[in-house]
Amino acid sequence: MRIACVGGGPAGLYFTILMKLYDQRHDITLFERNAAGHTYGWGVVFWDDLLETLQGSDAESGRIIRDSARRWSSQVVDVQGTRFETGEHCGYSIGRQRLLDILTERARNLGVRLEFEQEVKAPSELPECDLIVACDGVNSQLREADADQFGTSVHVGRNKYIWLGTDKVFDSFIFAFARTDPGWIWCHAYGVDANSSTFIVECPSEVWSGLGFGSMSADDTLAALEEIFRPQLSGHRLFGKFRDGQAAPWLNFRTFTSQNWNAGKLVLMGDAAHTTHFTIGSGTKLAIEDAVALANKLQERREIQDALQAYARERQTALQPLQADARLSAQWFEDVSRYLELPPEQFSTLLLKRRSPLLHNLSPRLYLRLLHATEESAVLQKLWKYTGPGARSLYSRRKSGLGRGLAALRRTRPAGRSSARQGLDDLAVLQLLGPNLPGLDVAGQHASYQGEVALMRPAVAGAREAAKPRRGCDPHHLPGRVNQASGLAARC
Ligand SMILES: Cc1cc2nc3c(=O)[nH]c(=O)nc-3n(C[C@H](O)[C@H](O)[C@H](O)COP(=O)(O)OP(=O)(O)OC[C@H]3O[C@@H](n4cnc5c(N)ncnc54)[C@H](O)[C@@H]3O)c2cc1C
């Protein structure tokens, strides 16, 4: 098979490796716009599951990646100097450049033709081939050239972030929150190798503007951030320039989803097909899993179109829970002021629970009470166990399949109140939890919460009305969501 891959990130490189391992006769060319050894970004984190995938797919590169990775074995939450450490969290990290160097060498040794400094803007620029793999990242030009075919949509995050490095080597994964005059700003940092760490800084847009980053030079930006995070950096420097001399930009994270992953012989893979917010550290893993799935399907199926469709189906299904996690995690950081008024210990607990849909739908204090109550009640433990994945999957379905009906819901949002979407969730949660709070002193909370829900009811009714059958709306899931949640309670 003649294959053209556009983009030499983890997805593209790994796919070419696997295709060559399956069949040396495949004629594969990979086009990468950057020079060899020049990527963007710093280190990325991952967990055992990715190592297993790598070892199982190509033991040789898997072993080198494992040996090059740095292991971190605790997570620290630092709020204005008050630190909480948990040993429950551990994982790995590796420099993006190191990862790509390993994969590049492996691909080259297996006979993949690697064309660096070759930007491809449209399929028509490629040589004749049987399959075009668009793995050209989040800003995929191949996807954008045919955006309607792919049904791509994008959600732009509210926070600003910048992906930096530092010569301070962190032993743990650290989240550090600093208070400045315009508001809170925080970093996500972890050691990558013996000399450096990744240091991602994030803040609400208004804090970013208030601190003057919009009009600040790259050097001044680094100096200002070094000052803000002086206690964590302890005199070490921040780095904001990549190997090609480009300065890291401040960005708003964009979550892309595509309904279709292939059009004719062109197929999307990795960030070109979907992105997941960096606060769950999974984009590289998902890109590599895409590569494994696509290579497997092409190996298993006789017809390319058949293989491409089977690949898309498998990966779209597999992605849903992580996409839901990523949205919840991103939302938690966007709503961080909701939690920062809590004592630091409680704040850290909620940071670690940020993927819970319940947390986003209950007052943080009620959530904490429930959390503590579950430690003492077997019934609630069971309930918690069910609502976690159950509610996440509802959340995921709502965000993907129910898009149009929910757009109608959002249009009914009353000014200054929670969204109708939250109203529905809250009703579901109350139906779920209402009779199941034995031994839990939530009377006050519950009463005020019911007050809130009473206020929401008109919005919810309006939302249901708005979602009744008409052009472009699919209302069927709406009552179902509530019933399904109640069904969870019934199962407990
Ligand atoms: C701040 C931040 C932190 C992150 N942290 C993590 C983490 O901790 N763990 C994790 O798993 N993931 C993380 N990610 C996500 C991860 O970086 C991506 O999901 C992953 O790199 C996707 O791989 P990819 O191969 O699809 O795309 P990319 O790695 O983006 O590779 C695409 C390649 O295509 C090339 N290219 C683009 N356009 C063209 C063109 N027209 N012609 C030729 N070449 C082109 C680019 O130069 C690039 O080399 C993070 C992302 C961000 C933004």
Work out the mean pLDDT of the chain and round it to a whole number.
82
**pLDDT tens digit sequence for 202-250:** 999 999 999 999 999 999 999 999 999 999 999 999 999 887 788 999 9
Range with lowest mean pLDDT among 126-130, 398-402, 420-424: 420-424
Q: Is 78 near ligand 1, meaning CB less than 6 Å away? A: no
**Residue span of the structural domain in which 380 resides:** 356-491
Give percent above pLDDT 70 in the chain.
76
Residue 458: band (very low, low, confident or very high) from pLDDT cuts 50, 70, 90 = very low
Q: Is 50 near ligand 1, meaning CB less than 6 Å away? A: no
Q: Is 45 near ligand 1, meaning CB less than 6 Å away? A: yes
Q: Is 117 near ligand 1, meaning CB less than 6 Å away? A: no
Q: Who wins on pLDDT, 28 or 428?
A: 28
Question: Nearest residue CA, atom 19 of ligand 1?
Answer: 283
Range with lowest mean pLDDT among 208-217, 291-300, 482-491: 482-491
Residue 183: band (very low, low, confident or very high) from pLDDT cuts 50, 70, 90 = very high
Residue 457 and residue 316 in one domain: no
Question: 192 CA to middle of ligand 1, Å?
Answer: 17
Residue 280 and residue 416 in one domain: no
Residue 374 and residue 308 in one domain: no
Whether 479 has a pLDDT exceeding 60, the answer reads: no
Question: 137 CA to middle of ligand 1, Å?
Answer: 5
Q: Is 9 near ligand 1, meaning CB less than 6 Å away? A: yes
Q: Is 135 near ligand 1, meaning CB less than 6 Å away? A: yes
Residue 316 and residue 429 in one domain: no
Question: 9 CA to middle of ligand 1, Å?
Answer: 6
**pLDDT tens digit sequence for 253-292:** 999 999 999 999 999 999 999 999 999 999 999 999 999 9
Range with lowest mean pLDDT among 300-309, 331-340, 357-366: 357-366
| Per-residue model confidence (pLDDT) at position 491 | 21
Distance in angstroms (rounded) separating the CA atoms of residues 71 and 102:
18
Residue 453: band (very low, low, confident or very high) from pLDDT cuts 50, 70, 90 = very low
Nearest one of 394, 331, 338, 333 to 363, comparing CA atoms: 338
Mutation choice for ligand 1 from 31, 38, 44, CB with most ligand atoms inside 8 A = 44
Residue 41 and residue 122 in one domain: yes
Point out the ligand 1 atom lying closest to the alpha carbon of residue 43.
Answer: 8
In a domain, 311, yes or no: yes
Give percent above pLDDT 90 in the chain.
68
Distance in angstroms (rounded) separating the CA atoms of residues 283 and 49:
13
Residue 426 and residue 386 in one domain: yes
Residue 264 and residue 413 in one domain: no
| Per-residue model confidence (pLDDT) at position 457 | 38
Question: 177 CA to middle of ligand 1, Å?
Answer: 26
Question: 15 CA to middle of ligand 1, Å?
Answer: 14
| Per-residue model confidence (pLDDT) at position 336 | 96
In a domain, 276, yes or no: yes
Residue 463 and residue 396 in one domain: yes
In a domain, 386, yes or no: yes
Residue 430 and residue 375 in one domain: yes
Which two three-digit tokens encode residue 453?
A: 């829900």
Residue 120: band (very low, low, confident or very high) from pLDDT cuts 50, 70, 90 = very high
Work out how many domains the chain is built from and give that number: 2
Residue 465 and residue 379 in one domain: yes
CATH at residue 270:
3.50.50.60
How many Cβ atoms from other residues are within 10 Å of residue 452's Cβ? 16
**pLDDT tens digit sequence for 337-362:** 999 989 999 999 999 999 998 898 88
Question: 334 CA to middle of ligand 1, Å?
Answer: 23
Q: Tokens 């995929």 sit at which residue?
A: 140
Mutation choice for ligand 1 from 97, 271, 285, 333, CB with most ligand atoms inside 8 A = 271
**pLDDT tens digit sequence for 93-104:** 999 999 999 999
Among residues 292, 308, 328, which one ends one of the domains? 328
Nearest one of 80, 256, 277, 258 to 179, comparing CA atoms: 80
Kindly state the average pLDDT of the residues 58-70.
Answer: 97
Kindly state the average pLDDT of the residues 410-433.
Answer: 38
In a domain, 224, yes or no: no
Q: Is 34 near ligand 1, meaning CB less than 6 Å away? A: yes
Q: Is 287 near ligand 1, meaning CB less than 6 Å away? A: yes
In a domain, 376, yes or no: yes
